Amino acid sequence: MNFRFAAVRTTGKEERAQPSEFRPLQVPRFRPRQGVTTLEVVVATILLAVAISGLGTFSASMHDGLQNRELSARIAWEVANAREQIGCWNFEEVRKTKIEALPVSAALAKRMEQTRWVASVDSVATPIEGLRIHLALHGVLDLQPVVPRELTFWIPRPEEED
């Protein structure tokens, strides 16, 4: 401990200062708090509850968004695969009934209900002479109809050999 000593009168022989003559140095000390108030506990609890509920809402919406993005990609792949499959058929085999009978992949059928192809096949002369095929994949997700993914493409009429 640091003490500041008061001046002591000396009478020729050294005397020790008496304890009553000591004056301690006054230094402000910061004591650590011994506890928290009820108001601080209530405010901390409210802040924690708001943070947790916000985080829960964010994670749920993020999860739903990722699932929707994955489903949209699966549907797009399914339509592109159907177009490639139809493009491999002979020109005379391309018919609306055959297109609508195409199977849907098992992975997509697991996620969506009542998936079905809707197609239209028209003979056209422009922009190329051949068939214009409009292809759409319809289905139901969580008891609501899904906006169909549509694709229109052309298959040229094969050149006749002489």
Span 68-81, pLDDT tens digits = 898 889 999 999 99
Of residues 45 and 27, which shows the higher confidence score?
Answer: 45
Task: Report which of 152, 147, 142 is spatially closest to residue 79, judged by C-alpha positions.
Answer: 152
Amino acid at 25: L
* 134: pLDDT strictly greater than 90: yes
The confidence score (pLDDT) of residue 77 equals 93
Is the model's pTM score more than 0.85? no
Is there a contact between 78 and 104 (Cβ–Cβ < 8 Å)? Answer: yes
pLDDT band at 35 (very low <50, low <70, confident <90, very high): confident
The confidence score (pLDDT) of residue 29 equals 74
